[in-house]
Amino acid sequence: MSCCESAKNQIKDGWFREINDMWPGQHLALKVEEVLSCEKSKYQDVMMLRTSNHGRALILDGIIQCTENDEFAYQEMISFLPLCAHSNPEKVLIVGGGDGGVAREVDKHPLVKQIVQVEIDQKVIDVSKKYLPNMAKGFDSPKLDLKVCDGFEYMKNHKNEFDVIITDSSDPIGPATALFSESYFSLLKDALKPNGIICSQGGTVWAGVDYIKNTLDHCRKYFKEVRYPVASVPTYPTGQIGFFMAALNENADLVTPKLKLSNEDLDRYNLKYYNSDIHAACFVLPNFAKKILYG
Residues that bind a copy of itself (CB under 8 A): 12-13, 15, 17, 24-31, 51-54, 70, 73, 204, 206-207, 230, 232, 234-236, 238-240, 266, 271-275, 277-278, 280-282, 284-288, 290
Tell me the C-alpha distance between 214 and 241, whole Å: 17
Under 8 Å between Cβ of 176 and 150: no
Provide Rg for the chain, Cα atoms. 18
Q: Which is nearer to a copy of itself, 17 or 193 (by Cβ)?
A: 17
Q: Could you list the active site residues? A: 168
Q: Cα angle vertex 282, ends 280, 288, to 5°?
A: 125
Tell me the C-alpha distance between 214 and 15, whole Å: 34
Find all residues with CB under 8 Å of 286, minimum gap 6, and list them: 205
Shortest Cβ 75–a copy of itself spacing (Å): 13
Q: Which is nearer to a copy of itself, 205 or 226 (by Cβ)?
A: 205
Shortest Cβ 57–a copy of itself spacing (Å): 11
Shortest Cβ 72–a copy of itself spacing (Å): 8
Q: Which is nearer to a copy of itself, 43 or 236 (by Cβ)?
A: 236
Shortest Cβ 67–a copy of itself spacing (Å): 9
Q: Which is nearer to a copy of itself, 25 or 142 (by Cβ)?
A: 25
| C-beta atoms surrounding 1 within 10 Å | 7
Under 8 Å between Cβ of 8 and 49: no
Helix, strand or coil for residue 220? Answer: helix
Q: Which is nearer to a copy of itself, 65 or 275 (by Cβ)?
A: 275
Cα 66 from chain centroid? 10
Under 8 Å between Cβ of 6 and 62: yes
